[in-house]
Structure 1
């Protein structure tokens, strides 16, 4: 497959032309492009007093305490908002974050290494030196995400 990109600044909108000799493949590519959403790199976090706009890459850990969500940023800054972990992960940030326990998710780009702990669990070490426990229930999904496979594929 060959991919060519031509930028035409005279166009008002994005125009995509797909050509090839396999209709099935072309249809699959068209469907992927149609369902792809524009990714935003900023995230709005509403706290009790303020509204913070943070870069998704600055978020290291997201931890749920009931209906409150604690967001740990680089430089150990913490923000608390009224949201569940499920709501956070179902938003457009799901490609960047991975759930590591029932109540916690981490930024995949902040993951430096993992090492085996006790009872089948793991420790995940983040770029700022933080160590968090990864539940054995979520290991398979994390490995799939790190290797670029979809969540529902088997190892």
Structure 2
């Protein structure tokens, strides 16, 4: 009888453990590795324009568009990470503490940063529904509206 009890208890514990470890991601999205040539042409052009010497380290396609519009995630050999929409427009460019190439950041924002934060450079940019979020080399985030006007800064 004792043996039967322990067997049942062990099986129940195993079942609970199995269920509790199941994949329970909230976004239900999955990523698939793809070849660089499978990216939209706009994305490939963006990369070749701003990162001509970088090679593709990782290219993933999401099974569904993320809330920020991201469909493709690209890591480059120079440690830059770029997210693109399904049409190939950039959503997020992360330099991982490196300065973004000139021309990626809209001119009005670049001028504002240069004037107001002359000792720092832009290491990342995100497009948001309300505008842009810029990350500076001092880890300060600077927010701009869709018209590229300064809103606030956030540490």
TM-score band, normalised by the shorter chain?
Answer: under 0.3
Q: Under a length normalisation based on structure 1, what TM-score does the superposition of the two structures give?
A: 0.28
From the CA coordinates, give the structure whose radius of gyration is larger.
2
